[in-house]
Amino acid sequence: MPGSRREVKNAREEGVEFQFNVQPLGIEVNANGKVSGVKMVRTEMGEPDAKGRRRAEIVAGSEHVVPADAVVMAFGFRPHSMEWLAKHSVELDSQGRIIAPERSDNAFQTSNPKIFAGGDIVRGSDLVVTAIAEGRKAADGIMNYLEV
C-alpha cells in the first residue's frame, strides 16, 4: 500500500525495513508456541490479462522465513469482530474499538487489567508510526502495571 513521503520518512526513522514483492504465507512458531518468524515468498508481476492488469505471481523456490519475535497484523480500517475480547471482559466503544485510555495510571490498559491495546483498534485508522508510538507507551504502562 502506498504511503505519503511523510509516512515513509517516519517509518524509516522508526527502523522499518521495507521489503517489496514479497507475500506472507504464515507465521512460524517454535516448540514453545512462541512466534519465531514469518514465512514469506517472493513475487513478480505476471503478464497483463485481457484488461491489461498484471497480477503478482509467486517465484518458485523463493520461500524464506523472516525472523521475528512478535508479529503485528493489520487487516483494514474498521475493527473486525474479536469474540475473545468479550470472554476476557475487554470493553469496546460504539464503533467496536477497544477502550484503552492513554491518560490513565497504566497507559493503554483496557478494562481487563492484564490486556493493553493501542493503534487503530483504539483510535481508528491512523499512521503506523502512531501505532508504534502507542505501543511504546503501552509498554511503559505494562512496566508500571508490573511494578518493574
Interval 84-138: pLDDT, tens: 888 899 999 998 899 999 999 999 999 999 999 998 889 988 887 888 899 999 9
1 pLDDT exceeds 60? no
Give the amino acid at 38: V
Q: How far is Cα 13 from Cα 10, in angstroms, rounded to an integer?
A: 5
Q: How far is Cα 3 from Cα 77, in angstroms, rounded to an integer?
A: 15
- Tell me which of 88 and 76 has the higher pLDDT: 88
The pLDDT of residue 71 is: 82
Q: Are 78 and 61 in contact (CB under 8 A)?
A: no
Q: How far is Cα 127 from Cα 16, in angstroms, rounded to an integer?
A: 13
Query: What are the start and end residues of each CATH 3.50.50.60 domain in the chain?
Result: 5-67
pLDDT band at 81 (very low <50, low <70, confident <90, very high): confident
What is the distance in angstroms between the CA of the first residue and the CA of the last residue of the chain? Answer: 39
CATH homologous superfamily for the domain 5-67: FAD/NAD(P)-binding domain (3.50.50.60)
pLDDT band at 3 (very low <50, low <70, confident <90, very high): confident
Q: Which three cell numbers stand for residue 83?
A: 469474540
SS3 147: coil
